[in-house]
Amino acid sequence: MAHYLERLIVNDGRFEIVGEVTLGLNDNTRTRALYEMIEADGRLHLVPSHIQHPADIFFIRVAICYQFVDEELTRTSFNVISELTTKICQADGTPPATCR
């Protein structure tokens, strides 16, 4: 399921894979805002982290640990992430096609 989610993320085009199957927008401020929205929304629980590579990168870890996870549940999780990312882009006036 992690690789299925990775394909959804890559196909969306707004996110950057910073390591193997790791999620983040190109902009640390937007990624942090996305994480805070996800936590406030309450439909998902994800883990934030950061690395120095070569600059500081804030990213969101998606751990697929549930034993009964399937494509539908993974797609639903991605849809929440996508929906909240769109709200962030709309709030700062960035067109969806260029919001990264």
**All domains in the chain, ordered by first residue:** 1-86 (3.90.1150.10)
Spatial distance between the Cα atoms of 5 and 8, rounded to a whole number of angstroms = 5
Helices (H), the chain: 2-12, 28-41, 71-91
Q: What is the pTM (predicted TM-score) of this model? A: 0.75
pLDDT in tens, 16-68: 777 665 555 667 888 899 999 999 999 998 989 888 877 888 888 877 777 88
At residue 25, the pLDDT reads 65
Spatial distance between the Cα atoms of 16 and 9, rounded to a whole number of angstroms = 8
Identity of the residue numbered 38: I
Find out whether 94 and 85 touch, Cβ atoms under 8 Å: no
